[in-house]
Structure formats: C-alpha cells, structure tokens
C-alpha cells in the first residue's frame, strides 16, 4: 500500500448536559453528538520515522498536535519500529467546539492501523482514542451517538427521523474558546454544573419520534453559561438565527461555533446569506446536509 487519504469530519452537540465534576477533575456528562460532513483532509504514508506537516502554520507539528500524539501512541502500542509521513490539510477552525482535532486523532489511529495491516483490534484502538481525548472515540464511528462518562463512552444510534432532509449552518466568529477554560468556569454556574440526568436520552427519543421543531426546543448546552456571558456576540447570533428561520440553534461543544438547523439545504443557504447581510462576511461559515 503506497499511501492513504482520509477525510476527517466534525460534529455538533445537540445537547451537552453536565452532571457534576468528578474526582479526576473531568466533568461527568451526557451528550448527543451528531456528525457534520465538513472536513479536514489527512494523507498518510509509511516512512522510517514520524513526520507531520500541516497546511496551517499556526498549528504545532510535534507532540503539541493531537495527530502526532495519536501516531506516537499507535507506534508505541504496536511496537512497530517504523514511522509515517502525515500531512494535515486543516479546513476547520481551531478551538471551535466542532471536535476537529479529536477527529484528526481518531482518523490517524484508524488510518495507521490500516496502513500497517491492522495490528490493533477495534477495542484497543478505542482505548487509545479515549486516552487522547474525551471526544476522540466518537470519531472512530460515523453515526449520531449518545456519549456519556467524560464523553468517551459512545453508543452509536441510527439516523434521527427529525433530521431527515435537514441541514446545518455553522458560524465561527473568528475567535476560539479554550475547552479547559469553559469547563473550569462552570464552577461559577452551579445550575449548569449540576444538570438533571436523563435529558440527553429524552432528546434521543424526541429526535427519533417527533420533528425538528419539537426536538429542537430541548437542545441545551451547559457550556453556554460561561461562553455566552463572556462573548455576547454568540447571543446575537442565536437570536438572529431563530428570528430568521432556524428550526433550532445552539453553541457546539465548548464553542465558539454556533450552529443552526434548517428544514432544507436551500433554507440553510438563504439563512447564511442573511447572516452575512447582518454580521458581515468576515466570519467562517459552512452549510452542509445533515
């Protein structure tokens, strides 16, 4: 096998309900993660040692990059005395709450396993993924999922009835939000820190049995409490999206991306044009079928 080329998609969280801080410092949560087909691209080939290059010079290409750490963990765990040349074409914004870096890490683990003739069983890849980051295991599969624990326990779900024919509009404001900052700030928002268990499972049922408007009313993200307080622009985005035809909208993950869901792809395109008219053209946006 000469080389492998893989797309690395992202996600949004339809609900992110936090159930308290754990003794290990992480937060217990229940979340519904939905795949979004807006992608980075990765290229892999076998090489004598590990080398990473990246289209975005703002990203480190050493162990500061999750792709590099994923590759390191693959070679350490398999004891393969070789490396790989990896190129990351970064299309997604950074620190955006879209799981872009986590997806890159998952794709790297799976691609290297393929490139070296599958030395690791799926259960071992899943363990390595969970150590790299809470969101990484989700990206080893491609379905919507209910994730629990610190986010690493993933239950894949069939496509949601309420999302049939729907589309996403993503808006990134141009600044990122640090995930550790968002979680640590929850200490000042006790209601958001100590959510009621069961909301995510209830939303799964609504997504499976009702429509987007009904299910969308139950979308919730505990990490909005600190993020919207610090960045009121994110509130303005949501108000505008709701007033202009979005069936639902929310901040994704720890932010800073806001997403809207519309009934159709053309609805998302026209909503994007309205957003540009109101907020200008400097924000990163993407429109994609759900």
Question: Which residues of this protein are in contact with ligand C5P, per CB under 6 A?
Answer: 26-27, 29, 133-135, 150-151, 179-180, 183
Does residue 30 contact residue 146 with C-beta atoms inside 8 Å? yes
Which candidate in 6, 56, 117, 135 is catalytic? 135
Coil vs helix vs strand at 170: strand
Min dist CB 99 to ligand C5P, Å, is: 9
Q: How far is the CB of 91 from ligand C5P (least distance, A)?
A: 20
135 classed as catalytic: yes
As to burial, measured by CB atoms within 10 angstroms (0-12 exposed, 13-18 middle, 19+ buried), residue 224 is: buried
Strand (E) positions, the chain?
Answer: 3-21, 27-47, 51-54, 83-89, 145-148, 153-156, 167-172, 220-221, 248-251, 258-262, 284-289
The CB-of-11 to ligand C5P minimum distance in angstroms stands at 13
Which entry of 6, 11, 161, 213 is annotated as an active-site residue? 11
Alpha carbon distance 159, 268 (integer Å)? 20
Q: What is the DSSP letter of 120?
A: S
Q: Which is nearer to ligand C5P, 154 or 261 (CB)?
A: 154
- Minimum distance from CB of 223 to ligand C5P (Å)? 10
> In terms of CB distance, is 88 or 167 closer to ligand C5P?
88
Comparing CB distances to ligand C5P, the nearer of 31 and 262 is 31
Q: Which is nearer to ligand C5P, 27 or 34 (CB)?
A: 27
Residues labelled catalytic: 11, 135
């Amino acid at each position: 096998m000469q080389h492998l080329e893989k797309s690395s998609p992202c996600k949004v969280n339809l609900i992110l309900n936090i159930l308290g801080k754990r003794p290990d410092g992480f937060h217990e949560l229940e979340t519904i993660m939905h795949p979004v087909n807006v992608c980075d691209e990765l290229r892999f080939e076998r090489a004598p040692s590990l080398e990473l290059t990246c289209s975005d010079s703002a990203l480190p290409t050493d162990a500061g990059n999750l792709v590099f750490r994923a590759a390191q963990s693959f070679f350490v765990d398999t004891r393969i005395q070789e490396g790989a040349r990896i190129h990351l074409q970064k299309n997604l914004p950074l620190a955006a709450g879209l799981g872009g870096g986590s997806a890159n890490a998952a794709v790297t683990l799976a691609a290297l396993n393929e490139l070296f003739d599958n030395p690791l069983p799926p259960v071992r890849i899943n363990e390595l993924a969970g150590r790299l980051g809470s969101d990484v295991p989700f990206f080893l599969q491609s379905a919507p999922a209910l994730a629990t624990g610190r986010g690493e326990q993933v239950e894949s779900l069939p496509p949601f009835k309420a999302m049939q024919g729907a589309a996403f509009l993503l808006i990134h404001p141009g600044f990122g939000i640090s995930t550790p900052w968002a979680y640590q700030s929850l200490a000042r928002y006790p209601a958001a820190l100590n959510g009621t268990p069961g909301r995510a499972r209830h939303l799964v049922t609504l997504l499976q049995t009702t429509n987007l408007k009904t299910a969308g009313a139950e979308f919730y993200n505990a990490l909005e409490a600190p993020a919207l307080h610090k960045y009121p622009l994110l509130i303005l985005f949501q108000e505008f999206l709701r007033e202009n035809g979005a069936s639902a909208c929310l901040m994704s993950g720890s932010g800073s991306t806001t997403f809207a869901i519309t009934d159709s792809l053309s609805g998302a395109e026209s909503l994007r044009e309205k957003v540009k008219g109101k907020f200008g053209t400097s924000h990163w946006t993407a429109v994609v079928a759900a």
